[in-house]
Structure 1
Amino acid sequence: MKRLILLSVSMFMLTTGLVQAQEQLLDKVVAIVNNDVITQSQVDELTNKVLRNAQGAEQELPPQDELQQQVMDRLILESLQLQLADRLGIRISDSQLENTIDNIIAGENKSREEFLNDLTQQGISYNQFREDIRTEIVLGEVGRSQVQRRVNVSEQEIDALMKLIEEQDKGTVRYHVGHILLRISSDEQATQQLAESLVKQLKDGENFNQLAMTHSQGPKALEGGDWGWMTIEEMPTLFAGVVRNQHQGSVMGPIRTDSGLHIIMVLDAEGLQKVETLEVNARHILIKPSIILSDKKAQSLLSEFRQQLILGEVTFEELARQYSEDPGSAVRGGELGWSDPSVFVPAFRDTATRLEVGELSQPFRSTFGWHLMEVLDKRTTDTTNKASKNRAYQMIFNRKFNEETQSWQEELREEAYVEILDGDA
């Protein structure tokens, strides 16, 4: 009997040890990035996400080892940016996160229940979705904080672009651009031959997104090299120099720069005869949390204001003049005047766009604090000539921001300690 008990205990310990070993194997460390680590489960999670997206778009994927290398590159870059965000003290509160999610759901024209059902059908838990959105917001904040200050737009640049716009027709041409980047390897000839082969395949009708996902080492590799729709002025300088006046299906390259060999393709092109912009006339009350006023109390105070407004106990102007901490609009009863929503921070922009005329928002959080907003009116205006200076500035800024973002990310990687551990990842 004693021998049977000892045998049972031994088998239990052996089984437990195997289970623990399997669990450790499932979440083993596959890379060290400064003070952080990347685990196999993170690689698997992002890989599965890419697989789901590719399946939904009916897009083929590169071989597993190449896909995982691109996934690893993305995770390393995200880790470096998140570590920097932590050092800078960038935090996203739950209330700010929920407000962003509400705007996402509203943009899908679905109820919360329908949206959650869609997530479930895709095999995504709501908690995971929340954290993914939180990460995206943090990455956006840290990127803006580091890159924006590196971008300078001179008056001379703005004036030159304004003159160019004036010389052109009111319409503009937009290009849907694809990009493949091949880093120069130790075997330069092999890299050159691969680039020339890719150009030939593209001209012969091969799928651009598939080739980009398989071979590109550029920032949009996981998106199939898709940079989306851009005007010439919004493009990185490299793109603009070769894309202008090119038609759908045109393939340019390989073009050699310090970054490597570039292949650029015009996936589509369209001419816009008129540029129209939605403008919103809104008013708001801003309450900034402080040592004295907590985040929760600031939100609660605006909820009280909202209830008073609904009951007609007070006017918006009175509340804004007395309580709003936005001095520029407080003196006007909170009114901001006609504005393109894109000039606002994301949370404010999304709320202003989503609200109907006369609708009062729930309290929502932005990087400035807590807001209560009412949309007074909306209109669509021809902005081809109006506010041309602001438009020229934004075009130049976007181009430089994209260029500086890539440079900043490359510098971040070069200055980091990154060790890829042996394994299957």
Structure 2
Amino acid sequence: MGKFVKGIIAVTLLAFSGLSGAQQVLDRVAVVVNDGIVLESEVEQLVQQVKHSLSQSGTQLPSDKVLRIQAMDRLVLSELQFQIAKRMGITISDQQLQQGLTMIAQEQDITVDQLRENISRMGNDWDTYREAIRKEIAIAEAQRATVQRRVYVSPQEIDNLVDAMNQMSERDIEYRLSHILVGFRDGASADEVQATRVRAEQLLERLRDGADFAQAAITASSGPRALEGGDLGWMNINAMPTLFADAVRDKSAGDLIGPLRSGVGFHILKVSEVRGIQQVEVNEVNARHILITPSIILSERKAHEKLVELRESIINGDISFADAAREHSADTGSAALGGDLGWAEPSIYAEEFRRQVEQLPLNEISEPFQTQFGWHIVEVLERRQLDATKRSQQNYAYQLLFSRKYQEELENWQQELRDQAYIATLIE
């Protein structure tokens, strides 16, 4: 879950529709999205949030009409993805929601109570905010479940990238990119594609003449970060979509790139900043755990209680950790080894599991905690720090390749959702 916490912060604080201190008595349907709707109040609230965010950053505001179009597009895409999440039966428990809120607070270096105070001080309703977070987590789960199946990274690709990284110093450089997508519809004719290219080239010319990139992104981009001024954040060149990487290589801060054609439109990039990366040493932990998986006959509460009892029995010496794992753990692979997970980098684990093994004192058994796999207790036996090895290089290469392909497939999937959906705008 932690991998999308920053995205949740960015999107939910922007798209959060609980701004109202005084609720409107009457509301209207702005857009029909399949069997769902987007309300006029949601559009208006998102527009106001964007205005507030842009004014705080000093970015010149585009017209209300442009903001409304972008806001409706954001809300329609959110509704489409949430419909998929519901169709997949994805539900976010209160425990998972609390973990999400905790991580959001940690990203802002505050407590959950302080987060709640901040939300209330802005005139927002805490319960509505929590449900907005629950929805964003469900959408992220649906994205992951759907898009991961579309991504395949071959061993040959990994080896090729490792070889390339060993020969080049590009992994020591990061680029902060801004992005504009001038899109065309799926199945567009050659004339439509050419007209889109002309619009992109005209826009690029205005940018070269000094037009503000962030405002242009908000006004004209159909990319996923349009309302953030097109800011894609910091990326290593190997983590970028291939189309971007080939064009960005060796570029300097301030350079404009494009238009670059893809399957969804023409892309314009701006290199906002460039920085070097220091080599990071590899930290590994040797841990063991016990997993209890809730089921129809074992509720979440009972699973938690069972682990509490097991933990007490282990601490009291009534049973060894290894024997308890062999007898009770639902992770059959590690259970046969007494719960032993061996040496591994914490980053390979689910977010909450990673946090536990990174922070837990040695030879101390954690309190029961929950991940998407069920309820765990974990004990860290040893820690060590290593120089980069071939295995870690391969893991690093895999993550870069997966991230690149995941983003490409996510955009393709989102475009497919739009193309296949019934969308009727009732209020312009």
SS of corresponding position for 1:286: strand
Name which of 205, 210, 230 aligns with 1:225: 230
The corresponding residue for 2:15 is none
Give the distance between the partners of 1:57 and 1:133, measured in 2 at CA: 24
AA matched with 1:31 = V
The corresponding residue for 1:15 is none
1:405 Cα shift? 0.8
CA contact (8 A) 2:196 2:265 kept: no
AA matched with 1:275 = V
- Between the aligned residues of both structures, percent identity stands at 43
User: CA RMSD for the aligned pairs?
Assistant: 2.9
Q: Deviations over 1:222-244 (max 9, x none)?
A: 22211112122211121012001
1:364 Cα shift? 2.4
AA matched with 1:218 = G
Count of residues in correspondence between the two structures: 402
The corresponding residue for 1:78 is 78
The corresponding residue for 1:388 is 393
Q: Deviations over 1:356-408 (max 9, x none)?
A: 55565442222211122334455554437542222222211111111111111
TM-score by length of 2: 0.84
Is 1:92–2:97 an aligned residue pair? no
1:269 Cα shift? 1.4
Q: Which moved more, 1:358-367 or 1:210-219?
A: 358-367
Instruction: Tell me: CA distance 1:395–1:260, structure 2 relative to 1, closer, same or farther (3 Å).
Output: same
Instruction: Tell me: CA distance 1:184–1:112, structure 2 relative to 1, closer, same or farther (3 Å).
Output: closer
Larger Rg: 1
Name which of 297, 302, 309 aligns with 1:297: 302
The corresponding residue for 2:408 is 403
Instruction: Tell me: CA distance 1:171–1:194, structure 2 relative to 1, closer, same or farther (3 Å).
Output: closer
Q: Deviations over 1:158-203 (max 9, x none)?
A: 2211221221249522111111011259887875565345434444
The corresponding residue for 1:413 is 418
CA contact (8 A) 1:364 1:370 kept: yes
Is 1:152–2:152 an aligned residue pair? yes
SS of corresponding position for 1:387: helix
Give the distance between the partners of 2:417 and 2:337, measured in 1 at CA: 44
Q: Which moved more, 1:100-109 or 1:303-312?
A: 303-312
Q: Deviations over 1:276-324 (max 9, x none)?
A: 3443433322100112211221122223334455666655434323321
Instruction: Tell me: CA distance 1:309–1:208, structure 2 relative to 1, closer, same or farther (3 Å).
Output: farther
The corresponding residue for 1:178 is 178
CA contact (8 A) 1:170 1:274 kept: no
Q: Which moved more, 1:121-130 or 1:136-145?
A: 121-130
Q: List runs of 5+ in structure 2 lacking aligned partners.
A: 1-21, 186-190
The corresponding residue for 1:248 is 253
Name which of 329, 333, 337 aligns with 2:338: 333
Q: Deviations over 1:46-104 (max 9, x none)?
A: 33443444455444442221111111111111111111111111111112222232333
Q: Which moved more, 1:59-68 or 1:155-164?
A: 59-68
Instruction: Tell me: CA distance 1:101–1:363, structure 2 relative to 1, closer, same or farther (3 Å).
Output: farther
Give the distance between the partners of 2:46 and 2:383, measured in 1 at CA: 40
The corresponding residue for 1:68 is 68
Instruction: Tell me: CA distance 1:101–1:355, structure 2 relative to 1, closer, same or farther (3 Å).
Output: farther
Instruction: Tell me: CA distance 1:310–1:287, structure 2 relative to 1, closer, same or farther (3 Å).
Output: same
1:146 Cα shift? 1.3
AA matched with 1:334 = G
Give matches, 1:242-321, under 5 Å: 242-308=247-313, 315-321=320-326
SS of corresponding position for 2:337: coil
1:417 Cα shift? 0.7
The corresponding residue for 2:130 is 130
SS of corresponding position for 2:246: helix
Is 1:161–2:161 an aligned residue pair? yes
The corresponding residue for 2:115 is 115
CA contact (8 A) 1:170 1:384 kept: no
Give the distance between the partners of 1:170 and 1:78, measured in 2 at CA: 35
The corresponding residue for 1:47 is 47
Give the distance between the partners of 2:178 and 2:241, measured in 1 at CA: 12
1:344 Cα shift? 2.0
Instruction: Tell me: CA distance 1:300–1:124, structure 2 relative to 1, closer, same or farther (3 Å).
Output: farther
Give the distance between the partners of 1:380 and 1:52, measured in 2 at CA: 45
Q: List runs of 5+ in structure 1 lacking aligned partners.
A: 1-21
